[in-house]
Amino acid sequence: MSIDIEIGTSLSNEDAAHFAATTEAITSAMQRVRESHAAYSWVWTDEIRCRGCNASLDIPLLASTNLSADKAFQAHQSAQLDALLAAGGHLRGKAG
């Protein structure tokens, strides 16, 4: 994931500091999610399992490809990031 935002000079110093802090918090949380949920393993032709949290992720049987598994795993990582940010985990030193 990447976020590209062009910042003009219209931001106040306070807004710029808030933006920088928010960006750092999201980047840090993303890194923790990638470390905690780094990879998956195939369990069966229609299931993968996160090696970090052992979550079972279903893959449609007729779409049982690495591409489908990668998409399902990316969705899992995104959900973990959303949960971490919603819980304020970006302020703590570890991922949940």
- Cβ atoms 76, 57 nearer than 8 A: yes
d(CA 72, CA 7): 33
Task: Supply the pTM of this predicted model.
Answer: 0.69
| Residue that wins the pLDDT comparison between 63 and 44 | 44
Q: Which residues, 6 or more positions from 29, have their beta carbon under 8 angstroms from its beta carbon?
A: 81, 84, 85, 89, 90, 95
Q: What is the mean pLDDT of residues 24-40?
A: 91
Query: Residues of the chain with pLDDT > 70: what percent?
Result: 80
* Distance in angstroms (rounded) separating the CA atoms of residues 57 and 6: 36
pLDDT of residue 8: 55
Domain spans of the chain?
A: 13-91
Inter-residue contact 73 to 59 (CB < 8 Å): no
How far apart, in whole angstroms, are the C-alpha atoms of residue 40 and residue 56? Answer: 10
